[in-house]
Amino acid sequence: MSATIKDIARETGFSTATVSRVLSGKTGFFSSKTAVIVNETAAKLGYKKNMAATELVTQKSNVIAVIVNSTKTNFSDQIISGIQKKADEAEKRVIILYAGDRDERAQKIALSTALERPILGILLLAVDLFPSNLEILTFSNTPFYFISISFKNNKLNYISSNDQEIGYQATKYLITQGHKNIGIAGLNITNSAHTGALRFKGYQKALHEAGILFKPDWLQTGDYSYKSGITALQKYYLKKDVTAVIAASDLVGIGILNECSRLKISVPTELSIITTDGTSLCELVRPQLSSITQDFYRMGYLGTTYLINSVQSNAYTNIVISQRQSVKKFNDFDH
């Protein structure tokens, strides 16, 4: 059992009030010699400060709540690494809560768990809150940031990549490789977080600039999952006119790649693939997947920095094209 303030007071001969002031860092009430004696005794007895009780009394907290979506992509660990790095630097603590997969009840439980105690703020990782839950969060007056997701409503603070630029750069890159019949697969263009809609807009912009007429069946929507990639490739296979595909996530890209293997479609000879996350998964498959690589670590680090410093602003992190093995210059003889 951990030592208490009373134990330290009994051991040192000081009053509990004096011991409490020393351990709370309140200066001006005791000598430096007293502070040394109290702190050494606390260490010897194994005293551990009850942070939860302190926070309830002071209504101040060093805890950042991170709410994680059951995302069908795989970049949350990189974001959390960035969050933890900045939290450690600022001597803050991190708790992680699970919000399900577009599950209104799970979101509400996660928010309630975070808000039932003093916290510094909340970071939501790729969580598209239901309106009722967004209202709960907004009216709580708790600082919050969305990470790796953006909104039409600029009153919501977020840190993400520029999703329109992702769609544009991926498409433009494939066009420079000679491709004209370019599919885009696995993205959701209807939810309130307009990540998918922005990427599709960038894709259309690049096609338009190149004088390429978009065909509706080049767009195969989904939920950024591995299964979405499989389903998309099956539909492209029936049409046989697409020579390159932009995958909405690395898992979508792997779904497409594996289905190509099953259907004996050679990548990149017969079909080129570029993904839009750029996580380590791209290098674990063969051929390795080319990608628009996002800086998820930076998103987490910057979001935590903004939260701690009460910065009310949105920000985009950098993207780069990572050329690997899944894109080949278009050649009519291969098709």
What domains does the chain contain, in order, with CATH numbers?
Answer: 5-49 (1.10.260.40), 58-161 (3.40.50.2300), 163-294+318-334 (3.40.50.2300)
Contacts 24+ apart (CB under 8 A), 281-285: 281/74, 281/250, 281/251, 281/254, 282/250, 282/253, 282/322, 282/324, 283/324, 285/254, 285/257
63-68 and 93-98 beta bridge pairing: parallel
Extract the tokens encoding 28: 């001006």
Is the confidence at residue 216, as pLDDT, over 80?
yes
**Would you state the pLDDT for residue 317?**
97
Secondary structure class of 236 (helix, strand, coil) = helix
Beta-strand relationship, 319-322 and 290-294: antiparallel
First to last CA, the chain: 73
CB environment 313-327: b (16+ within 10 A), e (fewer): ebbbbebeebebbbb
Q: Within 10 Å of residue 265's Cβ, how many Cβ atoms?
A: 17
**Amino acid letter at 10?**
R
pTM for the model: 0.82
Cβ contacts of 53 within 8 Å, gap of 6 or more = none
Question: In the structure encoding, which two tokens stand for residue 260, read together?
Answer: 């190509």
**How far is the C-alpha of 335 from the C-alpha of 321, rounded, in Å?**
25
Q: What are 30-82's pLDDT values in tens digits?
A: 787 887 888 888 888 777 766 555 554 445 689 999 999 876 667 999 999 99
75: its two tokens: 């970049």
pLDDT in tens, 77-121: 999 999 999 999 999 999 999 998 889 999 999 999 999 888 999
Res 335: pLDDT: 54
Exposed e or buried b for every residue in 239-257, given b needs 16+ CB within 10 A? eeebbbbbbbbbbbbbbbb
